[in-house]
């Protein structure tokens, strides 16, 4: 059982609200990240002895980032608008859970060769006072996890 602050920091799960998203050298604030999934498709092989299951190809990497819409020009709109005839600027993205003061990453997901596939505007409702949140869906080639 953890008895000191250092033991608690080492043995308890990392809170999900302390994270940083970086596109290269630029850190961009987001309210939510989802889809950091690593998986494989399964193949069912049937023979005279019954069914056997085997791993197949890696599943697609689909990531969704959400953030509050601000009064500035959207670099995500510029990014998705630049796609033309299979020409796209693919980017490597890092998502890190950090320590309490956000100075050190504890776990990092490295998203490799991501490109935007859908930019969703906030739902607009005259009877609501919620913040406007835009959503960016991306596809990537791979995800690597690094524990620090």
Would you list the domain boundaries of the chain? 19-147
The model's pTM: 0.85
**What 8-state DSSP symbol labels residue 47?**
E
pLDDT(53) > 60:
yes
CA within 13 Å, CB half, 96: 19
- Residues 74-112: pLDDT tens digits? 788 889 988 887 788 899 999 999 988 888 999 999 999
- Write the DSSP symbol of residue 18: -
Question: CB atoms < 10 A from the CB of 118, how many?
Answer: 12
Share of the chain above pLDDT 90, in %: 53
CATH 3.40.50.2300 applies to domain 19-147: no
DSSP 53-117: EEEEEEPPEEEEEEEE--SSPPHHHHHHHT-BTTB---EEEEEEEE-TTSSSEEEEEEEEEEEEE
């Amino acid at each position: 059982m953890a008895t000191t602050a250092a033991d608690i920091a080492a043995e308890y799960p990392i809170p999900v609200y302390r994270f940083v998203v970086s596109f290269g050298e630029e850190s961009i604030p987001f309210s939510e990240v989802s889809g950091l999934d690593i998986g494989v498709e399964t193949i069912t092989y049937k023979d005279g002895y019954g069914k056997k299951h085997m791993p197949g190809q890696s599943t697609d990497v689909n990531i969704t980032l959400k953030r509050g819409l601000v009064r500035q020009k959207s670099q995500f709109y510029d990014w998705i608008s630049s796609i033309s005839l299979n020409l796209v600027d693919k980017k490597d993205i890092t998502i890190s859970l950090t320590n309490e003061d956000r100075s050190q990453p504890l776990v990092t997901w490295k998203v490799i060769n991501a490109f935007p596939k859908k930019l969703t505007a906030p739902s607009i409702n005259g009877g609501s006072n919620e913040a406007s949140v835009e959503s960016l869906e991306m596809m990537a080639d791979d995800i690597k996890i690094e524990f620090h």
